Amino acid sequence: MNPLRAYFSLVRWDWAREWKRKETLIAMAMMSLITLFIFSVAMPPVQEVLEDTRGGILWVTFVLAGTVGIDRAFRGDGDGRLLTGLLLSPVGRGTVYYARITSTMLGVVLMEAMTLGLFMLLFDQSLEWEGLLVVVGVTLAATLGFVAVGVILSAMTWSLRGGDAILRILLFPLLIPLLSAAVHATNEAFAGRPIGFQPVAVIGAFDLVFIGAGQLLFEFVVDGTETGT
């Protein structure tokens, strides 16, 4: 099959499935809401403090809620039929990997859009048009890297006992450079300053390195899964 057509049909199929039950979307939205409220309780939601913490609150929320979605990227109905089914389909593994990144990222981005809107409303933050564009751009770019490395790790951990904790233990340290760049850029954008070249370079490098490595390594992860179960 034409890889591009296969890719689109996989993404469509994923979305039809998720859209019917919305379980993952709801779980992510709830986690995001709850995390925002926990931050408002744990750290004073006043303007002077928020100037130093808003990027962090936003991105920790993105990561905590997004990981709920990434954790489920391969769980499907919980019995592994999803990944097995995908691999039996006459589609290259690279295509499966990119399709899975795309559909997971769609869900995560939806959650992030909701979170950003709610954050600005509840924490009384505002952005100029340029700032908003920067935040959206940075969020999309950083989410791509986040999901790309998350999907690889999710494919490894979903079948393990205590896999959800292992996923987080493996994923979060890898995300630290991405997070620090995204937090820095988001804070600059909220403060109305230009973000400069550095965050773009770090996020771009992260995306390139981990999407490239991810595509190569996905093959091996699949081999490991097949003989394992």
Distance (Å, whole) CA 146 – CA 204: 12
Position among 183, 189, 195, 211 found at the interface with another protein (CB under 8 A): 183
* Cα–Cα nearest to 64, from 27, 98, 101, 100: 27
Footprint of another protein on 157-176 (CB under 8 A) = 160-162, 166, 169-170, 173-174, 176
Q: Is 75 in the site for its own copies (CB under 8 A)?
A: yes
CB of 5 to another protein, least distance (A): 29
Q: What token pair was written down for 17?
A: 């499935």
* Max Cα-Cα span within the chain: 57
101 class by beta-carbon count within 10 Å (0-12 exposed, 13-18 middle, 19+ buried): buried
Q: Tell me the residue type at 101.
A: I
Contact between 38 and 32 under an 8 Å Cβ cutoff? The reply is: no
What x-and-dash track marks residues 172-211 binding its own copies by CB under 8 A? Answer: xx--x--xx--x----------------------------
Position among 4, 48, 126, 228 found at the interface with another protein (CB under 8 A): 228
Q: Which residues bind its own copies (CB under 8 A)?
A: 23, 27, 30-31, 34-35, 37-39, 41-44, 49, 52-53, 55-57, 59-60, 63-64, 68, 71-72, 75, 77-78, 161-162, 164-166, 168-169, 172-173, 176, 179-180, 183
